[in-house]
């Protein structure tokens, strides 16, 4: 059965890039549907279906959901970032400005941690000898030009070792727990552990139960825990509902709604965690 030319023209392109700072991925093409995950600015996604002003997409971690069509830009064979030099946001959030100045205009956008931007050039061209080239000109995924401060980004992102991941994790303390959250605007428990492992060079599954069941994990006894191990909580090993990142010394960091709905540090020996711990895992670097 052949599709009409009109149907082919109406079909969504195969790949697109997220243009919003953070795009909620919903279970259905409706604002009334629940959030299942998020895709941050600059993420390249596969497009699966279209319904009205909504597009069903798949993120690089193989997660699917519905996003408003206006939250992305079709790539049509191209890629983003298209330049060899890329600026990755390393601050929890970074302002992008219209001009290389923090005072002339309000920011064009505020982009979260880990977003990757095309570098147009380093410096404004007006620097004097000895200046540190504070500004970097970038092209945003939507096509607009902008400027970001060098202190907010890295041009050479490195895989982090466990002590560095422990240090990184503490930067997020106090950020709000967000159901389905996968960004520095707010993580859920598995989005947070997934991010930490990704910065350690390993792409683990998105949700807690698939993480614990993943073939890339090694089972660890509670008595043998080391910093960087992942902890899984629930009614049983087959009914995991929560995860955290072990810091050492009996402490772990996690995004939770327990007591205070923020990323926080808890003690493994304290209730309710000591009763709910059902699995410990070490991911393979």
Say how far apart CA 229 and CA 221 lie, in whole Å: 11
Ranges in the chain, pLDDT < 70? 1-13, 127-132
Pairing of the two strands 35-40 and 182-183 = unpaired
Whether 110 contacts 98, CB under 8 Å: no
State both tokens at 214. 């993943």
Q: What 8-state DSSP symbol labels residue 127? A: P
DSSP H or E run through 183: strand 182-183
**What was the pLDDT predicted at 4?**
43
State the Cα torsion 37-39-40-44 to the nearest 10°.
160
Whether 277 contacts 265, CB under 8 Å: no
- Map out the domains of the chain as residue ranges: 12-74, 86-154, 162-283
According to CATH, the topology of domain 12-74 is SH3 type barrels. (2.30.30)
**What was the pLDDT predicted at 5?**
40
Of 50, 35, 37, 41, the residue nearest 17 (C-alpha)? 41
**What was the pLDDT predicted at 100?**
94
- Asked if domains 12-74 and 162-283 share a fold, the reply is no
187 in helix, strand or coil? strand
CB-based contacts of 185: which residues, under 8 Å, 6+ apart? 21, 22, 93, 112, 175, 178
Class of domain 162-283: alpha beta
CB-neighbour burial class of residue 64 (10 A; exposed 0-12, middle 13-18, buried 19+): middle
243 in helix, strand or coil? strand
Other beta carbons within 10 angstroms of residue 243's beta carbon come to: 28
What's the alpha-carbon Rg for the chain, to the nearest Å?
21
Other beta carbons within 10 angstroms of residue 155's beta carbon come to: 12
Q: Is 2.30.30.40 the CATH classification of the domain at 86-154?
A: yes
First-to-last C-alpha distance (Å) of the chain: 48
């Amino acid at each position: 059965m052949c599709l009409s030319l009109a149907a082919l023209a109406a079909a969504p392109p195969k790949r697109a890039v997220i243009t919003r700072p953070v795009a909620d991925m919903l279970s259905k093409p409706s604002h009334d549907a629940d959030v299942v995950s998020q895709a941050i600015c600059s993420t390249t996604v596969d497009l699966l279906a279209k319904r009205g002003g909504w597009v069903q997409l798949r993120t690089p971690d193989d997660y699917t959901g519905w996003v408003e069509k206006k939250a992305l830009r079709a790539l049509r064979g191209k890629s983003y970032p298209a330049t060899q030099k890329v600026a990755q946001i390393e601050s929890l959030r970074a302002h992008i400005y219209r001009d290389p100045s923090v005072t002339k205009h309000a920011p064009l956008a505020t982009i979260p941690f880990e977003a990757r931007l095309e570098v147009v050039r380093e410096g404004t061209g007006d620097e004097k000898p000895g200046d540190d080239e504070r500004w970097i000109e970038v092209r945003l995924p939507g096509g607009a030009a902008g400027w970001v401060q060098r202190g907010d980004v890295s041009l050479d992102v490195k895989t982090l070792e466990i002590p560095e991941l422990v240090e990184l994790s503490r930067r997020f303390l106090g950020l709000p727990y967000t159901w389905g959250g996968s960004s520095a605007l707010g993580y859920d428990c598995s989005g947070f552990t997934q991010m930490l492992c990704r910065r350690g060079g390993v792409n683990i599954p998105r949700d807690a139960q698939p993480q614990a069941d993943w073939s890339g994990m090694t089972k660890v006894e509670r008595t043998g825990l080391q910093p960087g191990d992942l902890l899984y909580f629930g009614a049983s090993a087959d009914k995991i509902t929560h995860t955290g990142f072990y810091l050492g010394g009996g402490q772990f960091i996690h995004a939770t709604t327990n007591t205070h709905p923020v990323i926080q540090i808890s003690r493994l020996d304290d209730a309710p965690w000591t009763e709910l711990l059902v699995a410990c895992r070490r991911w393979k670097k």
